[in-house]
Amino acid sequence: MAFDAVTVRALTGELSHKLVNGRIDKIYQPEKDEITINIRLLTENVRLVLSASSAHPRVHLTKAAKKNPISAPMFCMLLRKHIGGGKITAVEQEGFERIIRISVESYDELGDLTTKYLIAEIMGRHSNIILTNADMKIIDCIKHIDFTISSVRQVMPGLTYTAPPPQGKTDLTDIRETASVDFSAASSADKAVLSCIGGISPLTAREIVYDAMHTTDVHCAALTDSGKNKILYSLTRLARDVREGNFSPCVILNAASGKPMDFSVTPIGQYETLAEVRKYDGVSEMLDAFFITRDMQERMRQKSADLVKLINTNTERISKKLAILARTVSESENRDKYKIYGDLLTANLHSLKQGQDSFDAQNYYEEGAPTVSIALDPRLTPSQNAQKYYKKYSKAKTALVEAAKQIESGQSELEYLESTLTAVENAENDEDLNAIRAELAAQGYAGKGRGQKKRAKQSPPKPLHFVTSDGFDVYVGKNNTQNDYLTLKFANSSDLWFHTKNIHGSHAIIKLGVNKDVPRSSIEEAARAAAYYSKARSSSQVPVDYTRIKNVRKPNGAKPGMVIYEGYNTIYVTPENPIKE
């Protein structure tokens, strides 16, 4: 990510203009490494997020609201005590580093006006949020860093706050008329720029080279003096724009998938036709648009790790069982041979003697009656050897029937687990994950143990609901329990039912009411929603089947969410989130 010092410079300028003289109203800690602060301004209220997430550290204003824990964590309570109700007097960048310092004036327990500093360090896995007093003594921090974690710099309550050690590079803002880059220190020009200039990201370094050479693939060994001068001029011009506050916030989207790839506060042209550059009016608006989905996905990935492990463990168990059953079926295919051996031994009992280890008999069941050698147990009588083969035949026949039943059951169970995994991957909040946990526990995969399906009374399922552009109500199940509820209990026989064709996903329902004439546009919107909440979310031209509910039924004993249907039509759509951001 390009959350470099250039981005911090643009952001602090914007936040300083917006937040200074604002009052801190409420403070929450929705995640273990994230703080949100509601700030009252003269004409509006805004929400500031400070995240020390290893994956997506950031600071910006946001419109997104997360669910907060019932009991506030200790760090949140401490912030409320020290800066709750305080006035923001400054938002500054520490030097030209990825460090934002927010100065807050508030009254202490004695009624004295004091200044506290809320410091956000945006440094990947070393990110932190730190509260200090006016003398820079650390009051507390969201991540405690002691000598067992870092021998270079400790961040603990009671210690004096010190900035991270410098990297020994030339800050971008210190470049004036000329810049100095050692092009012999790296293989490519962008890496040479990155190794010498502080405060820029790899994306920015590549853009400097692209701006000068119209390509990012520039090897230092092939650079002429003219080429070096062009790169240095481009670097100097960027430094001037940063000092003067000339920023152009933008998000880079993959041209094919439309997914966010990166962001920048300076113009980006290096991707050419491979990406779309979407511009924003403000830095916070850009960051909020970029991180709102990425951070949610990362948080959900972490919170769903136990579910994914549980599902994968059971999937692996069933797959091994099916492999064993397949071998049983293969071995049972020769069962008729055992019956023939028994018949041949019975027909030749007069020729057999106890103690033989084999017997050659003419196989009258095959054309030409070829001779076949039958293995015998010398410890058994001739009659007992014959009965042994009859028993092997009977056992193989029974095993084949039982294996077929277990294979069918195992395949059904695999289908269920795969559909549940899809629901986990598409979960959007803790409520979705908790519903899936409850479902798995009810099916015996978690909780009290397999086979014990008794559970506490659950609240009614709450499928996703939205209204199409034509005014039709659409409901989408976000797990198998909701799918069953929608299809088997909630929907009427004439309602339209949607599901991705041969792809695990949600059931979607268009409620018809009095109006039975559904426009094509509403059918497409419901189909796009069904495709979005399926395993094919990232695909395009996804086939979605739709039919009347009366054509959908659930087989006896089928797992939650498992149905069969007939008399359907198929529409091809590109998945789309029905809830517009």
**Cβ neighbours, 10 Å, residue 497:** 24
Question: Which of residues 368, 401, 421 is at a domain's end?
Answer: 421
Q: How far are the Cα atoms of 67, 359, 360, 373, 375 from residue 370, in angstroms, in the given order?
A: 79, 14, 10, 10, 16
Classify residue 398: in a domain, yes or no.
yes
Q: Are residues 80 and 179 in the same domain?
A: no
Query: What pLDDT is stored for residue 67 in this prediction?
Result: 84
How large a percentage of the chain has pLDDT more than 90?
Answer: 59
Q: Are residues 224 and 243 in the same domain?
A: yes
Q: Are residues 292 and 352 in the same domain?
A: no
> Which stretch, 282-296, 320-334, 535-549, has highest mean pLDDT?
535-549
Q: Are residues 130 and 231 in the same domain?
A: no
Q: Are residues 321 and 359 in the same domain?
A: yes
Return d(Cα 468, Cα 477) in angstroms, integer.
16
- 1 has a pLDDT exceeding 60: no
- 451 has a pLDDT exceeding 60: no
User: CA torsion sign, 532 to 277 to 124 to 157?
Assistant: negative
| CA end-to-end span of the chain | 22
Q: Are residues 534 and 563 in the same domain?
A: yes
What are the tens digits of pLDDT across the range 454-477? 444 566 778 999 999 999 999 999
Classify residue 162: in a domain, yes or no.
no
pLDDT-derived band of residue 486, with 50, 70 and 90 as boundaries? Answer: very high
Q: Which domain holds residue 319?
A: 309-421
Q: Are residues 177 and 270 in the same domain?
A: yes
Q: Are residues 280 and 341 in the same domain?
A: no
Report the pLDDT averaged over residues 290-315: 84
Classify residue 157: in a domain, yes or no.
no
Classify residue 150: in a domain, yes or no.
no
Q: Are residues 122 and 238 in the same domain?
A: no
Lowest mean pLDDT among 234-248, 346-360, 494-508: 346-360
How large a percentage of the chain has pLDDT more than 70?
Answer: 97
Give me the residues paired with residue 221 across strands.
none
Question: Which of residues 269, 298, 327 is at a domain's end?
Answer: 298
At 351, which CATH number?
A: 1.10.287
Classify residue 154: in a domain, yes or no.
no
What are the tens digits of pLDDT across the range 76-114? 999 999 999 999 999 999 999 999 999 999 988 888 899
> Between β-strands 170-171 and 508-511, what pairing exists: parallel, antiparallel or unpaired?
unpaired
What are the tens digits of pLDDT across the range 521-580? 999 999 999 999 999 988 889 999 999 999 999 998 888 999 999 999 999 999 998 986
Which residues make Cβ contacts (< 8 Å) with residue 239, sequence separation at least 6?
172, 173, 174, 175, 176, 179
Lowest mean pLDDT among 148-152, 444-448, 549-553, 557-561: 444-448
Q: Are residues 121 and 45 in the same domain?
A: yes
pLDDT-derived band of residue 516, with 50, 70 and 90 as boundaries? Answer: confident
